[in-house]
């Protein structure tokens, strides 16, 4: 059968988010780390697709043509091409931002794809299955039997909510990530303090997007090290070392581009 409006509710079991706000927070963290992996046109396509994933947080089965038309209208007849949108889909699925499923009608013919946005891997790397962009086939009529796959909260996520008292000067995506491992407001603020110091030392203090991206990437690297067999005696110092290295790379890259 042809998927009609309203059938999107049948895919509710695929949502990994309890609310639209939670979905938006995870998407912000994905973009903070991977925004520069996309061209401007691809980024426009990704952000617009995410807006079609609001009714069921993180789930969309909008047709490509529908998304492109919305972009075309929003940007006053200056949209993006279908090929650009498809490149975005491949990149985003390879990065693990979302998983693509094919859907089929009762007669076996293909219908619009289902895009299921994944949670940002705060506690663990994306599952191999989600990192693989191999497209799977599902039948919409079978989705009613699919169990809700929202991830259970881990013990780290159940820590005291001291993070709620963190300074509002610290970007929420960073707080959301750090609180799982260091729920103390003081600890989170110390990590961010070292972030701003490292940014200042490398002439990046006026680049908020760059600061957030580097901080999330550096914190992810710290977490991976903490989960390995290597003991991290001083997480803050280790994190600061990663920050300085990454900011220095950006600094020298900027100098090279300026032919300084």
Q: pLDDT (tens digit, 9 = 90+) per residue, 90-131?
A: 999 999 999 998 887 777 677 788 999 999 876 444 444 443
Q: Which CATH architecture has domain 7-145?
A: Orthogonal Bundle (1.10)
**pLDDT bracket for residue 70 (50, 70, 90):** very high
DSSP class of residue 163 equals G
- Is pLDDT above 50 for 145? no
Range from 53-67, 82-96, 98-112, 223-237 carrying the lowest mean pLDDT: 98-112
The whole-number average pLDDT for the span 138-142 is 50
The whole-number average pLDDT for the span 205-216 is 91
Name the one residue in this structure whose structure tokens are 């920050």: 243
- How far from 253 is each of 167, 256, 260, CA to CA, in Å? 32, 5, 10
What pLDDT is stored for residue 9 in this prediction?
Answer: 72
Cα–Cα distance for residue pair 171/93, rounded to 1 Å? 26
Cα–Cα distance for residue pair 30/35, rounded to 1 Å? 8
Q: Which of 177-181, 215-219, 227-231 has the highest mean pLDDT?
A: 215-219
Cα–Cα distance for residue pair 162/58, rounded to 1 Å? 28
Helical spans, DSSP H, in 35-103: 40-51, 64-74, 82-95
Cα–Cα distance for residue pair 14/143, rounded to 1 Å? 9
* Average model confidence (pLDDT) across the chain: 80
Q: Domains of the chain: which residue ranges?
A: 7-145, 156-257
- Is pLDDT above 50 for 155? no
14 burial class (0-12, 13-18, 19+ CB within 10 angstroms)?
A: buried
- Chain centre to alpha carbon of residue 92: 9
What pLDDT is stored for residue 69 in this prediction?
Answer: 93
């Amino acid at each position: 059968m042809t998927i009609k409006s309203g059938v999107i509710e049948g895919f509710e079991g695929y949502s990994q988010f309890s609310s639209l706000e939670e979905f938006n927070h995870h998407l912000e963290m994905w973009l903070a780390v991977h925004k520069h992996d996309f061209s401007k046109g691809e980024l426009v396509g990704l952000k617009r697709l995410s807006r079609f994933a609001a009714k069921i947080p993180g789930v969309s089965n909008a047709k490509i043509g529908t998304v492109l038309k919305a972009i075309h209208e929003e940007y006053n007849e200056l949209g993006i091409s279908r090929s650009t949108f498809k490149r975005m889909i491949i990149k985003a699925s390879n990065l693990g931002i979302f998983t693509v499923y094919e859907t089929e009608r009762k007669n076996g013919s293909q219908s619009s794809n289902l895009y299921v946005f994944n949670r940002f891997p705060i506690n663990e790397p994306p599952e191999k299955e989600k990192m693989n962009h191999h497209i799977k086939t599902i039948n919409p009529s079978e989705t009613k039997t699919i169990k809700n796959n929202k991830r259970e909260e881990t013990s780290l996520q159940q820590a005291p909510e001291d993070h709620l008292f963190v300074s509002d000067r610290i970007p929420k995506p960073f707080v959301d990530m750090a609180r799982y491992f260091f729920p103390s407001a003081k600890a989170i603020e110390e990590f961010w303090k070292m972030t701003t110091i490292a940014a200042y030392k490398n002439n990046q203090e006026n680049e908020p997007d760059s600061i957030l991206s580097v901080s999330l990437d550096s914190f992810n690297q710290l977490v991976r090290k903490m989960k390995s067999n290597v003991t991290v005696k001083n997480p803050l110092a280790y994190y600061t070392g990663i920050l300085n290295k990454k900011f220095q790379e950006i600094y020298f890259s900027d100098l090279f581009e300026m032919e300084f």
